[in-house]
Amino acid sequence: MEIIYLLIAVSLVLVGLITWAFLWAVNSGQFDNLDAPGTAILMDDDKP
């Protein structure tokens, strides 16, 4: 069961990473407009 110390450390690192990624996403405006980008991918303007 000593593995728990490693697991705790891993989970702390993970939650730190995820939180950092989430804050980065919010700050760079990823959540500001949730409709348009989803459809933008359907538009292809690099025709041959």
Partner 1 sequence: MGHSDALTARLAAPHARGARTVQCYHCGDEVPRGKQWAALLDGERRPLCCAGCQAAAETIAAHGLEAFYTQRTAPGARPNGPTPDLGAYDDPALDAACPLLADGVREAHLVLEGLRCAACAWLLESNARRVPGVLEISVNLANRQASLRFDPAVARLSDILGAIWSLGYRAYPFDAQRRQAGLQRERRDYLRRLGVAGLFGMQVMMVATALYFDPTASGVGRYLSVLNWLNLAMTLPIVAYAATPFYRGAWRAVRSGHLGMDVPVTLGIVLAFAGSAWHTIIGGATYFDSVAMFVTLLLTARYLELVMQQRASCLLDHATRIMPAYVERIDCANGARDLVRVAVRNLQPGDRLLIKPGSTLPVDGVVRVGESSCDESVLTGESVPVPRRAGDAVLSGSVNVESPLEIEVTAVGQGVFMARIADLVARAAAGKPQLAQLASRIAGWFVAGVLAVAVVGALVHGLWLGQPWLPVVVAVLVISCPCALALATPAALTAASGALLARGVAVLRTGALEDLVSVTHIVFDKTGTLTAGRLRLQRVITHTDVAQVNCRQVAAALEEGSEHPLATALIDAAEGLPKLRVSALRNQPGAGLEGTIDGVRYALGSRAFIAGRVAGLRPATDDAEGPEQEALLAADGRLLAEFKLRDTIRPDAAATLAALRAAGIRLAMFSGDRPAVAARVGATLGIDDVRGGMTPPQKLAALEALQAAGAVVAVVGDGVNDAPMLARASIAIAVANAAEHAKLNADLVLLRDEIAGVAAACELARRTRRVMRQNLWWALGYNAVALPLALAGFVAPWLAAVCMSASSLVVTINAARLRRTVANQGV
Q: Does 13 bind partner 1 (CB under 8 A)?
A: no
Does residue number 10 form part of the binding site for partner 1 (CB under 8 A)?
Answer: no
Query: Is 42 within 8 Å of 36 (Cβ atoms)?
Result: no
At residue 34's C-alpha, the angle toward residues 25 and 16, to 5°, is: 20
Can residue 36 be called a binding residue for partner 1 (CB under 8 A)? yes
3 lines the binding site for partner 1 (CB under 8 A): no
CB of 7 to partner 1, least distance (A): 10
* Dist CA 25 CA 37 (whole Å): 14
Residue of 3, 6, 45, 48 that binds partner 1 (CB under 8 A) = 45
